[in-house]
Structure formats: C-alpha cells, structure tokens
Structure 1
Amino acid sequence: MSDFFVAGSWRNRAAIVEVVQALDDAGASSYSFVRAEYDEGASDFARPGGADDADLHEPGIQRLFDQDLAALRDADQFVLVLPAGAAAHIEAGIAYGLGKHCWAVGPIDRSETLYRIFTAMTGDAASLVQHLERSRTLQ
C-alpha cells in the first residue's frame, strides 16, 4: 500500500524522479515504475522502449501489467507527471474510475476537457507538495 501512484513517461523520467523525491521528502510513500522492482521476465519490458514492439500475450508483459495495476489499486491517490504518454493517461482514467484523488504536475501543452478529473494541476513538484499540504491531503 502506498499513498501515491506516480505515473508518467520514460522520456520524462527526471521529472518523475523529482516528484517521487518530493513526496518522499514530505513523508509520503509512493509507487512508480522509475523505481519499481520487477521480476526478470517483466524487467525487460519495463525499460525505456522495452514493450514498444512486444507481443501483449508475453508472460512478462502480463506480470508487468498485473504488478503495476495492483500498485495502482493499492495506492490512495494518483499523480500524473506531464508530459506523459497514452499509457499514463490510461492509468489516470483507471485511478479516477477507482475513485482516487488525481493530481497532475508539469507543463500543459493544451487544454483537455478530461483533465477535469484532476483535483488540481500544478507546475512543478514543490507546488504539488504545497498544494497537497494546504488541502490536507498530505499530512
């Protein structure tokens, strides 16, 4: 169980690490693919571009999916680090559908009506933590 599930894109890894570290520094626990440990079969697919051309029926893909989805279900809240790809946006939709508070952090390229799922959107990790503290979501 973690306080936050942090999603994003490998190409935005530095910003994800920054958000995870800011949450750590604030005393919150988080799960993110940037530091998750996967078994040998799944870890090949968890690296940048590792699943791009993979057969979705590969056992390692299934284990990766199962682990990340279980972590998403077990987290209390969700953070999307922008810019992010389709998979991270799907995770945001799942989190919202599960009734979790959803937050976004990072630059917004364009307005999306479905970004209304986010309780708040902040520009950087420090602003996210400040917002969470003010809203008493982070104690």
Structure 2
Amino acid sequence: MKFYIASGFKNKENVRQVSAALQEKGHIQTYDWTQNERASSLDHLKRIGELEKTAVSDSDLLIMLLPAGFGSHIEAGIAIGLGRRVFIYSPDPALLSYDKTSTFYYIEGVKRFTGTLDSFVQEVLIDLA
C-alpha cells in the first residue's frame, strides 16, 4: 500500500513517527516532505507543489494529521477527488466537532480518528491489514 501524509511543519515529528510505523509494516511512502525546508521562493513553492501533487496521485491512501493548513486540505481534496482513502487524525476531538469541522471530513471514503497518535497508527495498520 502506498501512502502520503499531509500535515504542517509543526507536526513534522508526528509525520515521521506515523511514516516509520507504516514503512516498518511494508507500506511505501510516496513522498517525504519532512526532508524539505520551508520554501524560499515562488519557484521553490511550485517545485514542491508539483512533487506533492504527484505523490498524492501515486498514493492509495492519504493520511492527514491535524492541525493542518491550506496545503494539507488541498492535498486531501485531491485524494478525495481521485477516490483515494483518506484518514484524518486529530489529537483534539474538538477539531472534528460540528462547528469546527469540514463537510469533506464526513463523506464516503474518509475516516476520522481522535485519541493518541499511537492508537491512531494501530487503527490504520488494522485497517490496512
């Protein structure tokens, strides 16, 4: 199973933790954006954007770790549009509450999780087995 993880730079270590756990079980990460520094120009943004778009397209599954920014939500939208499975994790259940959530978090093919990051990883691995 090929996967992509969408999130923000502040979640870099959590992204790496989830990625390592999935790779340990034989799953393939399509692109590791955590190796990048923040973009320093519009051309740099474009290069990264193209790499990330391709990575989402090449994946079977997109994982989004909240909180996340615009880019992560665009990546999730691409994945949903392509019919990929999407798993959304929030350490704070309030981010999935009615007044703070997105309609797209609740459509077919999207699964939502709260709790600890370790329990989320276990749920994903069970789902992928």
Unaligned runs of 5+ in 2: none
Of 97, 120, 127, which residue of structure 2 is paired with 1:128?
Answer: 120
Secondary structure, in 3 states, of the residue corresponding to 1:27? coil
Which letter maps to 2:118?
A: A
Unaligned runs of 5+ in 1: 36-45
Any conservation in 1 of the 2:65–2:89 contact (CA below 8 Å)?
Answer: yes
Identity within the alignment, %:
30
TM-score, with length taken from structure 2 = 0.78
The alignment covers a number of residue pairs equal to 120
Is the alpha carbon distance of 1:13 and 1:6 closer, same or farther for their aligned partners in structure 2, counting shifts above 3 Å? same
Per-residue displacement from partner, 1:27-67 (whole Å, max 9, x unpaired)?
A: 211133114xxxxxxxxxx413x35xx43xx2x33222211
Higher helix share: 2
- Pair 1:105-2:89 in alignment: yes
Which letter maps to 1:106?
A: S
Per-residue displacement from partner, 1:96-116 (whole Å, max 9, x unpaired)?
A: 111100001232343214221
Q: CA RMSD in A?
A: 2.1
1:47 corresponds to which residue?
A: 37
Which one is further off, 122-131 or 86-95?
A: 122-131
Larger Rg: 1
TM-score, with length taken from structure 1 = 0.73
